Homo-oligomer: A and B are copies of this chain.
């Protein structure tokens, strides 16, 4: 990924529906170049799945919560699998430090969240959990600043 790629991504971030042709003339590149680079980025995994763009909100799950957990390390694989079986579990990280797991969860409402938290706690191998509700998205997910820096070079 070089600066040109970053510039393409920036333009794409501004207008997701932009066609290759539009990007090309906007960036002063040839259509072929843009096409090749976009293809390369998709191939090379620089672009994650489309799912990331879907707002859980729109699926009727306006609540986000983070569950931190301590786990019996030896049963990590098992725990991980069990968590993956819960639909509302959107993302799980293995962490360094005090807590072993960070589980990102979405829920339809408070009661739903309660149910899900319970289900997580019930997973064999999970020892302790703490649930924190995301009350506000102070900085919504973004990569533009980093992209800008990469594009500057």
Interface residues of A (CB under 8 A from B): 1, 6, 9, 12-13, 16-17, 41-42, 44-61, 64, 66, 76, 80, 83-84, 87-99, 101-102, 104, 106, 130-150
Contacts and interface: CB of A to CB of B under 8 A. Distances in A.
Contacts of A144: 51
Given A50-B16, A89-B139, A146 B61 contact: yes
Tell me how many chains of this kind the complex includes. Answer: 2
Nearest to A12: B50
A1 B97 contact: no
Contacts of A142: 49, 51, 90-91
Contacts of A91: 137, 139-142
